[in-house]
Amino acid sequence: MPTSTLSLSGEIGGAPLGATLQRTADGAIRQGPITLPAAEAGTLSTRSTNTTGVLTLAGTALQIGDVIDIYWDGGRRYDVDVDGVAGDDVTFSGGAGDDLPVQDTAVTAAEQVAIDLAFTGDELVAIGAKLGERGHLSVRDSGATALSIDLVKNETWFWLDGQQIVNPLAGDSIDGLMASNASSAATAVLNLGVLYDSTP
């Protein structure tokens, strides 16, 4: 049976705090290191509504039908559909997350990368992820986003059973993961791990 250990140390408000968090489960999943490509940089050149508009991205490689995440200072939208591409202009719609910023805001746009991931949410014991840049994960159940995770550059996001925090994937049947990197300056390495107990 695999055992995972997460060690924390530091202080809050001057009070020394630290812990060694350990969980054992029937099974484990490791994904990574996975290199996510850099995003494309540009502007929100047209803002039609809170969820639709046009991005102008120099030399874009995006195509109709791609699903992207859009980032800007202080916000992001994820699971956004690319509806049209004409030169450097990318028409988009939909998604979830924050309302679009004002027109002409600097943005980055990243095509989502599909990553294999399959487990039953009710069996989850621990899950954690870390990315070398700002980014986003969409954990999927039957193609829909069951859990949206914002990743802070070089900070570990995690959930562990037994910490009085509700299982964020309870009732879900996880069948995939979509990931993106907000940085247009560099690729970013993603590491993700899962512990789960098998149903008898």
Bridge partners (DSSP) of residue 149 are 137
Per-residue pLDDT of the chain (200 residues; tens, 9 = 90+): 899 999 999 999 999 999 999 999 999 999 999 999 999 999 999 999 999 999 999 999 999 999 999 999 999 999 999 999 999 999 999 999 999 999 999 999 999 999 999 999 999 999 999 999 999 999 999 999 999 999 999 999 999 999 889 999 999 999 999 999 999 999 999 999 999 998 65
Q: Looking at residue 200, what is its pLDDT?
A: 57
Is the pTM for the entire model greater than 0.85?
yes
In angstroms, the first-to-last Cα distance of the chain is 15
Bridge partners (DSSP) of residue 12 are 15
Specify the residue for token string 């193609």.
143
pLDDT tens digits, one per residue of 1-26: 899 999 999 999 999 999 999 999 99
Average pLDDT value for the chain: 96
Q: Is 123 helix (H, G, I), strand (E, B) or coil?
A: helix
pLDDT tens digits, one per residue of 72-92: 999 999 999 999 999 999 999
Cα torsion 38, 39, 41, 45 to 10°: value is 170
Among candidates 40, 53, 51, 57, which has minimal Cα distance to 103? Answer: 53
